Structures are given as C-alpha cells and as structure tokens.
Amino acid sequence: MFINTGKARNFCETLFCAYGFSIEESRIITDVLLRADLYGIDSHGIHRLVRYHEEITSGQVNVKAKPQIVNETAISACLEANNAMGQLASVYAMNLAIEKAKTSGCGMVTVRSSNHYGIASYYTEMASAHDLIGVSMTNTEAICVPTFGSQAMTGTNAMALAMPAEPFVFSYDASTTVVPRGKLEVYRKNNQALPDNWAVDADGKPCNDAALVVENIIAKAGGGIAPLGGLGTLHGGHKGFGLSIIVDLFSAVISGGLTSNYVNRQPGSTGICHYFAAIDYGIFGDKKSIKDSMSKFLQEIRSSKKSEGFDRIYTHGEREAELMAQRVNGKIPVNEKTLEEMKKIAVQLNVEFDLPAE
Amino acid sequence: MFINTGKARNFCETLFCAYGFSIEESRIITDVLLRADLYGIDSHGIHRLVRYHEEITSGQVNVKAKPQIVNETAISACLEANNAMGQLASVYAMNLAIEKAKTSGCGMVTVRSSNHYGIASYYTEMASAHDLIGVSMTNTEAICVPTFGSQAMTGTNAMALAMPAEPFVFSYDASTTVVPRGKLEVYRKNNQALPDNWAVDADGKPCNDAALVVENIIAKAGGGIAPLGGLGTLHGGHKGFGLSIIVDLFSAVISGGLTSNYVNRQPGSTGICHYFAAIDYGIFGDKKSIKDSMSKFLQEIRSSKKSEGFDRIYTHGEREAELMAQRVNGKIPVNEKTLEEMKKIAVQLNVEFDLPAE
C-alpha cells in the first residue's frame, strides 16, 4: 500500500503545526521523518508518527523547548535540548557544527536531554551537502547486552558518517547491534525463529524466540539483542559492544547526559543524547583531489569482482539515493494499520486527512 | 615458553640500533612492539620481529626517513612518512595531535606512505595518558571482501579509541574484519575448519578451508576474510564493510595516500596509511565530571548481570591492563620458532643474544 509523497508531506506539516510547532519546525520534523521513507528505512519513517504523537501529547516531548548552549568553543558546543523534539535539537546542533567547521575546520556538538532523532544519516548528509565530512551518533534505550552479559546496558546506538563523493555520497548509517529492534519485531510478527547469535533471554542464554525477546525488552525484564558481531567473542561481538560504548561516550558522557541504561527510565522525559561533528576535509589537503580519491575508491569497490550469484556491490548510501530518486516525486509505502492510526490522530487534532491509499 | 621482559627489551633496542635507528628511535619501536606482548596481543608483538627484519633489510622500511608535514592547521596535519618505520611516524603524528589538542581542543593527523604500526591502542593511550580522548586507525593490505564481493578491497583496517576512566582506561582496539588474519593462520596451523561466515574462496563462495583462504590471500588469488558482521547482510556484514571504508577514508583518502587495495602492491614500499586524533574532552564540559561519568558507566557495565555460565564482564582495555601489570616486570610468552629466528637475526647483525627461555 502506498501514499503520495507530496500529500504525506503536507499532512505531516499540518499535523506538527497542530501540536504547536512553528511552520519552520514542522517542516524540519517532516523532512527528517519522510527522508526515512524515501530511503526505504520504514522503521524510522511515517510509521513513527504514532509514537511521536504519544510522546508529544504526553508531554515527554516539550513542544516549546529551545536548545540551549551550555558550553562552547570555536570547535565545539554542548547543548541542553530541554526535552525538545529530537529532530529540532539535532538540526540546530548539526548546523552549529557545520558553521564551526567552516570557520575553524571542525565542529563537534554534543546534545543531552533530547528525544528520538529519526535517521542518523539525515544529519551527516546536511554536512556532506556543505562539502564536509559529517558524523552523527545517538544513544537509545538500552536493549543490547554486553558480551557475556544478560542485562541490556547500551542501546541500538547508531553511528553514521557521510563523505562527499561522486556519483553518490558515501553515507554509512548503522546501529551497533547485530540488528535493530525493528527486525526482531518483524520476526515476531511472522512467527519466525530468530537466527542464532542474535539475542539472549533474561538469563543470558542464547534465545531464538522473537516474541519472548521482544516482550522482555518491552517489560525491561532482562535479556536483549546482541551487539554487532553477535553473542560471545567468536564472531567479534566484543567489537560491536565496544562501538556501542563509544556512541554513549560521545553522545551521553561528554554531554553530561544519560547513558543508554538510564534512557526511558524516568516518566516525563526520555533523556536521549546525540553527537554531531562536521569536518572540513580541506584542512588535510586539496579538496578536489581528496573527493576524487574517495569517488575512485568507491567505484573500484563497486566494480570489483562479485561473489557467485550476486551481480552488484553497493557502497553505503547508493541504494538509498536510488530509492529516493524514485520516491521523492512519487509515492512511499505505508501499512494499513499505520494509515488507520494516522486517520485517528487527524480526527483528534482536527486536521484534514487527505491521504488516499494508492 | 617465556622470556624475561627486561631482557627482551634490551635485545630489541640493541637490534634496532644495529639496523641504524637512533637509541631514541629504537626505544620507541621496542616499546610499541613489546606493549603488544604485555597486552597479550601476540600477533603484533615480538613475533613480528622477523617480518620487520625483512622489511628493514629489504629497504621497504627506510631507516633514515623523517616524517614531513605537507599540510598543517591549528587542529590538523597531513604527514608524508617517506616509508619510515610505522611506529616512528605514528608516535610523531600522535604527539603532534596531542600538542594541537592541548592548544586548540582537538588535533587530527593523517599519515601516508608509512609501514605497519603495531597495535593501534599504543597511540590512543598516548592521548589518554595526557587526559585526552585518543583515536587511531590504520589501513593494511586488502584481505577483506566487500559484502557480496569475492575480491579483497579493504584491509583488516583497525579502529581504536581510548578514553580516560578509573580504574581502567576505556581502550577499544579492533579490526573491522570478523577476525584478524592471524586468527585464520591459527585455524590453518591446527587443521581446524573455519566457522561459517568468516571467509570466501576465490569465487566468493563461503569457505571453511583455512589453508585455502590463507594461501589465496598470500598469492593475492582472490577471496578473503568477511567484514565484522560476517558474509552477506543477515548478521550486519555490510556494517563492518562500511567501517573498513571509513578507516580507509581517514587514513588513506584524506592523506592523499594509497587505499588498502593498493597497499603492498608495489615493490619497495607498503604504502600503509594511518590516522590519529586527540580530543580534549574538556571543551564539552567539566573534565572531572565527564571522566567520573565514564568511570561510572563502565563500572555499571562490569557490575551488570552476567549470562549463565559467565562470571565476569570485561570492558575494553581492562584485560590488557591486568595482563600488563603481571608481565611488565616479569616475562612474556614466545614460541620456539620465533626464538630460533631471533637468534639467527642476532647472528646476522652481530648483536649479543641473551634471551634464555624460562
């Protein structure tokens, strides 16, 4: 089932205005939200409206909050987001990092007391659009167990990096867990057993029961998802575990915010933290040569010999750019349940609902 | 089989002096080399002397080379290493990054035309010893296949980060492949089948034959090791693949050096590239609070509930710090073959060999 992209944009902007956000703010939130649908990252797209609705109406998201700079140097800032919508604190923070990178070569901005910020690559690509390297990280509620642990201590903790290149920006955006939480939910819905090495039960025993793992996560009853590299150390699970700690270091620890194990533990606020950096790679050498070298390296990878049975190697960001080109003036997928829930939200907020399924 | 740590240090220092390095340079190289043995990372320790001997005597390593700054700003530098010993270019580069971090908040130094630099954490811990965050990356000869590829395009491409904390510095140091090359060699030596998801043959087909994979790598005949996350995308192999590209971006692309797929392809030089960064985390807030928060978070992780059958969760750098405390005034392990080869090298260079097995 699909809906028209332009109509979805209009609807979301109107809806966010109805919550009390300004037109400009509503445009920003909508743009981040729909970028996920354009990129094919459905879990972070319009499907999230329902959860955002709950967070906004419950007051967990403060509609009137403005991010506040608590520490600043020529190359850095620490922001208190005051429970603002994650997208607004994040666009503000990345713009600040970009500005610093343009004047000082590099800008690093850490953000505390924010909320879910959508896809990490939205922000890194703000930097690459200015011909800068962009970095973005966010912590989330703890759902990832340490190597040899049975209690979730870190979140899916995404890391993203974008570097200008032709014909596609290199845009890496991934959780530091073996899979994101949404993937477990798909296995649960389909009554499918989880692959080995993905998750543990409340005792820390390897567990293939998707429903049990998801229910334990929701109830904060123990167990959780394995870090990238899986359970134990055989396939490098300790590496993913370390990367998730690094995300908490840059987003929560240096900002004075809450680490993943304290996120979503207090009513009234999530406490999510982010990190943004922009680097003018021209401080290292000639920008054209560096960008050309990146483009060449990526092209060599795409052109390298494929495995038997595969006819294409994608570099990061390529698939998303292709999908966006198709969808931006066309339509985006949506499931029936989400569409129904959006209709209910529209009624509740007295907003016109003109989103026919196509 | 063990040898006395102090005697090993004396022997290595004397040996490097015999190659033509200054006393100070010989001490640096030895310190990096033995740190690996102290940390239990045998693959990068004294065992490497044999390979370094070949690289130095063949002229691949230029004993007289001095690193040269080709581009510099208050927060950055790009170094041409002129085929110097990797450890020397790297200690110089990290010291420069530390100096810049102390005056400007952050220092980023990229290095081209270098050689194998030993363990990445040696350099990050130089920064943490100055109460800074340290970052270090290096590319290597390509042995890692892209997701869906059968031709190695990136190296084991290590990433390391150190952040001050009590009682242990958080020190992450890991390849971006599912396992380092040395691990495959251990499986080959033991005639053991490789675990699934680790490697592919020259056609890109999953391959459990350690000997075949290692021989293909040596002969540059195709195939190679999977990125962190394994083959395909099911367990996140595309994530490790992306991380390995990021290492090449920071070490090789922005330095104007050779990406992994060109490393060790020309006689006379390896072309290995590195990246170093030091960040004064005090630019974000009060240093004591930030460091305390990191220490607390790591302690919470170590104290969190263990999986059934496990009694300890290690944070990164903890195990290495414990091992070093035991070994630094004691002894380090060495295998018989390495000891024999060291004896031959000593004879060749007319250096006294006083390293009895203990």
For the segment A47-68, what is each residue's pLDDT rounded down to a tens digit? 999 999 999 999 999 999 999 9
Residues of A in contact with B168 (CB under 8 A): none
Q: Which of A305, A306, A316 to mutate to test the interface with B (most CBs of B within 10 A)?
A: A305
Q: Do A108 and B108 touch (CB under 8 A)?
A: no
- What are the CA-CA distances from residue A250 to residues A166, A198, B288 (Å)? 30, 26, 16
CA distance A321 to A327: 10
Q: With the C-alpha atoms ordered A125, A127, A132, A138, is the resulting torsion angle positive or negative?
A: negative
State the residue for tokens 């902007």. Answer: A13
In tens, the pLDDT along A278-312 reads: 999 999 999 999 999 999 999 999 999 999 999 99
Residue A166 has pLDDT above 90, yes or no: yes
Q: Which of A145, A205, A249, A319 to mutate to test the interface with B (most CBs of B within 10 A)?
A: A249
User: Shortest CA distance to B34 belongs to which of B60, B11, B57, B63?
Assistant: B11
Render B185-240 in DSSP notation, one character per residue. Answer: HHHHHTTPPPPTTSEE-TTS-B---HHHHHHHHHTT-SBEEPBTT-SSSTTSHHHH
Query: B89: Cβ–Cβ under 8 A, 6 or more apart, which residues?
Result: B65, B67, B79, B81, B111, B114, B115, B117, B274
Instruction: Give the orientation angle of helix B336-349 with respect to helix B5-19, to 10 degrees.
Output: 40
Q: Which helix (H) or strand (E) holds B85?
A: none
Cβ atoms within 10 Å, residue B99: 15
Instruction: Give the orientation angle of helix A121-129 with respect to helix A86-104, to 10 degrees.
Output: 30
User: Shortest CA distance to A176 belongs to which of A196, A156, A146?
Assistant: A156
Q: Which of B112, B148, B284, B288 to mutate to test the interface with A (most CBs of A within 10 A)?
A: B284
Render B289-341 in DSSP notation, one character per residue. Answer: HHHHHHHHHHHHHHHSPBPTT----PPTTHHHHHHHHHHTTSEEE--HHHHHH
> Pick from A110, A234, A308: which is nearest to B205 by CB?
A308
The band of A217, judged by pLDDT with boundaries at 50, 70 and 90, is very high
Cβ atoms within 10 Å, residue A309: 9
- Provide the strand spans (E) within chain A: 2-4, 68-73, 76-80, 106-114, 133-138, 158-163, 170-174, 199-200, 224-225, 272-279, 331-333
Give the pLDDT score at B182: 87
Task: Assign A122 to helix, strand or coil.
Answer: helix
Give the pLDDT score at A165: 98
Give the pLDDT score at A160: 98
Residue A332 has pLDDT above 90, yes or no: yes
Q: Which of B69, B73, B231, B249 to mutate to test the interface with A (most CBs of A within 10 A)?
A: B249
In tens, the pLDDT along A67-97 reads: 999 999 999 999 999 999 999 999 999 999 9
Upper half-sphere CA count for residue B112 (Cβ side, 13 Å): 20
**Chain A: nearest CA to B266, how far in angstroms?**
18
Residues of B in contact with A194 (CB under 8 A): none
Q: Quick one: CA torsion of B305, B309, B312, B316, rounded to 10 degrees?
A: -100
Cis amide leading into B167 (omega within 30): yes
Residue A182 has pLDDT above 90, yes or no: no
User: Shortest CA distance to A303 belongs to which of A293, A288, A313?
Assistant: A313
Residues of B in contact with A245 (CB under 8 A): 170, 172, 297-298, 301, 315-316
**Chain A: nearest CA to B295, how far in angstroms?**
10
With residues binned 3-state (H G I as helix, E B as strand, rest as coil), the percentages for chain B, rounded to 5, are 45, 20, 40
- Residue A265's DSSP bridge partners are none
Q: Do B204 and A307 touch (CB under 8 A)?
A: yes
CA distance A218 to B339: 56
Query: B112: Cβ–Cβ under 8 A, 6 or more apart, which residues?
Result: B78, B79, B80, B81, B252, B255, B256, B257, B258, B271, B273
pTM over 0.80: yes
Which parts of chain B have pLDDT scores under 70?
A: none
To the nearest whole number, what is the mean pLDDT of chain A?
97
Q: Do B75 and A104 touch (CB under 8 A)?
A: yes
- Residue B236's DSSP bridge partners are none
Q: Go through chain A and tell me how many residues it has.
A: 358
Task: Assign A107 to helix, strand or coil.
Answer: strand
Region A316-342: what's the mean pLDDT?
96
Q: Do B294 and A71 touch (CB under 8 A)?
A: no
Give the pLDDT score at B358: 87
Q: Do B229 and A178 touch (CB under 8 A)?
A: yes
The amino acid occupying position B170 is: F
Q: Do A255 and B285 touch (CB under 8 A)?
A: yes
The band of A120, judged by pLDDT with boundaries at 50, 70 and 90, is very high
Which structure tokens are listed for B245?
């590209």
> Pick from A76, A104, A248: which is nearest to B297 by CB?
A248
